[in-house]
Structure 1
Amino acid sequence: MASYKLGHRKTLVLIGYGLTPVGQVLIALAAGWPLLLLGRMVSWFGKGLRGPLRDAIVIQAVSPETRGRAFGFHRAADTVGAVLGPLLGVALLGLAQGWHWDDAVGPFRFVLWLSVIPGALAVLAFLTLVKDPQHSPNPALKFFSSLRGLPARFKRYLGAVGIFGIGDFSHSLLILAATTLLTTSMGIVHAAQVAGLLYVWRNLVQVAVSYPVGVMADRMGHLSILIAGYVLGALTAVLTALAFWFGIDNIALLAGIFFIAGLYVAVQEALEATVTAEMVQPETLAISYGALGTVNGVTQFISSAIVGVVWTTVSPVLGFALAAGMMVAGTLALLRVRKG
């Protein structure tokens, strides 16, 4: 049976960061949906690979009493790039729109190619600036036997996260929803620019509340605050379904949906990892984060595929309504974990 060596964590995180620009290259080259799907899958795989191990590095560098605020600060700093990136993308899209292109997708492809640059810089920054504390007392932990030995309560927690995750669609679909709703009144390029700015707004909300959410969780309990975040996630899906039902093209109302989305993502990304740390032993922390990352990665792919397929074949209302139903079910399952 293969061993899972924590000494290789930094290398694996670097590979995870490196797969993101590779995915962007594939998307920039795409002429149809197969290469787009492959690009997204490569990026998702990279995120799933780097996230759990990076979280293990972070949590071993702080005390248990400050985990919430540490992860809140980490997520806020991480999201600053997600604010600046779309802003720059919107500006470049507007600039490129005035140039001569052979087809309508030329400006979008140009922006995608430029997005490869910060992805490559992220790999270089992690390589040169980050050190792995390697506090684990068991550097040759057996992976599958360790999964079987994880606490039953943590397994129930993973089940709840998985159920919620089946409804937790990628927010690329939220951007597409705003673009679709605004296109009739604005045109496709202007609608895409506004949708990009709405996503920037969502990220600004996440930056602003991530650290306060962590502080609140340290004081009130991480699991309780995470449940509240899941409720906001279900509300985001419900409101998006209603926006399509009523054909809303009001920017202020759409900004309200993106605001709630920013709140719930801030809670989810900061606290799913800290709740995990509360439920497992230190020597199984990296394995537990790997399990959490796997559940999140697989279910987000399933969710986005379901919402996208139902949107295309039936209606966006039903797609987002189904997502909301799964999110509600996951929230109820998490409530049972807390009571247990």
Structure 2
Amino acid sequence: MYLTDRSAPARADTGRVRRNGPGRRVAPVVLVLGTVSLITDVSSEMVTAVLPLYLVSRLGFSPLGFGTLDGVYNGFSALVQLTGGHLADRVRNHKLMAGLGYGLSALCKPLLLLAGSVGTLGTVLALERTGKGLRTAPRDAMISLSTPARDQGRAFGVHRAMDTTGAMLGPLAAFLILRAAADGYDAVFGVSACVAALGVLVLVLFVPGRRQTARTDGEAGPGGPDGTGGPGGTSGPDGTSGPDGPDASDGTPPVRVREALALLRLPRLRALAGCAALLGLTTVSDAFVYLLLQRRAGIGEQWFTLLPLGTAVVFLSLAVPVGALADRIGRRTVFLAGHMGLLTAYALLLWAPATPVLAPAVLALHGAFYAATDGVLPAALAGLVPEELRASGLAIVGTSQALARFCCSLAFGAAWTVWGDGPALAGSAVGLLCCAAVAGLVLRPAGGTR
């Protein structure tokens, strides 16, 4: 069972990969989707940066109450990821499903201004996460299908770097708005809504509506019985599918639910989804990490919104080189190394003294963890799932991870409430160490490959 596609190429990637051009390894659609994600993440991270302090300090949430709502915010998308991925494959229009997801999230931003109770706030956040769940798998499928298997790590690294640029600018914008506006939280929510609408506009205007698939030598275009190419297909000037490509109405029956669920029969995909869930069960949410860091390092509330900025800077710096490294040495190795970095961050939060270097060290390890896992995980699926089910496969793995992190938020919030933050984090650290050991064994490649 592998977390690397080098030794077991997918049917869609058989043959020798043809470059899109001299030295060009990132498809244009990846850059456009990266721009959409950058803008959308500015909007989302403005809200995410202020939400923990807003709920705990202003609304008086207990750790258990915050953990429940944080679990809804970060895990509710798991309930709709499978739906979004399957529908994108079924209608063969990944842009449509991604657009619906981005649009729903944008509509929810101004509703935060009207959320005056816990129930209303939870409903709005659940709807916003529904939008994220609908868009994630179709968006990642467009990236995967436009990129040769050997360059998946680099392509996802570029996208995640652009996405993280937005994650870096969002907290900074929230920080400046809170300092400048009289009613800072409402101002943050209002500006966030406007920025989210801009992201939807860029998606509608500039993301190609027709699926684009990387070509291989000797093939006219994707869509044949083996997933590499079929007769009669044409291709565009950049090596992607043209008017008669896979999104054309060629009489192929739509993907059915049982075909998507049949992906679970693939041993390597089951192993990947299971390990993602196992590790997610002990991955403390970002909001809790920042709250713990604020307490341990004695950081003032006025600086709290800048903590996600530190994670984002490191993620942005490492996403592309770490993705390229995963393509070369194996995605399993990089994926597990990222979790070891997170475990080190937990150890620092537990035992390191409150020195000036504590916050930079924890944020650096936190950002490195995301660089080694966030794009590497979907990149590993390129060699496991056929093209026509790519969004469904991405949704299966993403759902398993999101559900596990939802459970972790609930459990960590409860443990913090009952035993305190130190014992709760210590339990998560021990659990992460055990789960990483199990994942290393399950994902261990055979035959000596990495």
Q: What TM-score bracket applies, with the shorter chain setting the length? A: 0.7 to 0.9
1:107 aligns to 2:212 (yes or no): no
Determine helix, strand or coil for the equivalent of 1:339.
coil
Q: Supply the AA of the counterpart residue of 1:166.
A: L
Cα distance change, pair 324–226 in 1 and its aligned pair in 2 (3 A): same
1:142 aligns to 2:256 (yes or no): yes
1:157 aligns to 2:157 (yes or no): no
Give the CA deviation at 1:132: 4.5
Distance 1:25 1:68 in 2: 35
Distance 2:121 2:413 in 1: 13
Alignment check: 8 A CA contact 1:27 1:39 kept: yes
Q: Supply the AA of the counterpart residue of 2:255.
A: L
Determine helix, strand or coil for the equivalent of 2:146.
coil
CA offsets, 1:40-88, max 9 Å, x none?
A: 3333332222111111100111111211111111100111111111111
Aligned CA RMSD, in angstroms, stands at 2.5
CA offsets, 1:107-150, max 9 Å, x none?
A: 22322222122112111111111115525746722223332344
Q: Alignment length, in residue pairs?
A: 321
1:299 aligns to 2:404 (yes or no): yes
Q: Supply the AA of the counterpart residue of 1:158.
A: A
Aligned to 1:45: 130
1:121 corresponds, among 182, 198, 218, to 198
Gaps of 5+ in 1: 100-105
Distance 1:251 1:35 in 2: 40
Structure showing the higher helix proportion among its residues: 1
Cα distance change, pair 336–132 in 1 and its aligned pair in 2 (3 A): farther
1:330 corresponds, among 424, 427, 435, to 435
Q: Supply the AA of the counterpart residue of 1:122.
A: G
Distance 1:34 1:242 in 2: 37
1:234 aligns to 2:343 (yes or no): yes
Alignment check: 8 A CA contact 1:164 1:330 kept: yes
Cα distance change, pair 166–34 in 1 and its aligned pair in 2 (3 A): farther
Cα distance change, pair 5–127 in 1 and its aligned pair in 2 (3 A): same
Cα distance change, pair 10–166 in 1 and its aligned pair in 2 (3 A): same
Q: Rg: which structure is higher?
A: 2
User: Mapping of 1:284-323 within 5 angstroms?
Assistant: 284-323=389-428
Aligned to 1:252: 357
1:170 corresponds, among 278, 285, 288, to 285
Identity percentage over the alignment?
26
Distance 2:293 2:97 in 1: 35
Determine helix, strand or coil for the equivalent of 2:374.
helix
Alignment check: 8 A CA contact 1:226 1:271 kept: yes
Q: Supply the AA of the counterpart residue of 2:432.
A: M
Distance 1:196 1:330 in 2: 31
Alignment check: 8 A CA contact 2:263 2:269 kept: no
Of the structure 1 ranges 44-53 and 58-67, higher mean CA displacement relative to structure 2 is found in 44-53
Determine helix, strand or coil for the equivalent of 2:282.
coil
Cα distance change, pair 70–303 in 1 and its aligned pair in 2 (3 A): same
Gaps of 5+ in 2: 1-85, 214-221, 224-251, 446-450
Alignment check: 8 A CA contact 2:263 2:393 kept: no
Aligned to 1:73: 158
Distance 1:293 1:283 in 2: 18
Alignment check: 8 A CA contact 2:93 2:210 kept: no
In the superposition, the TM-score normalised over structure 2's length comes to: 0.65
In the superposition, the TM-score normalised over structure 1's length comes to: 0.85
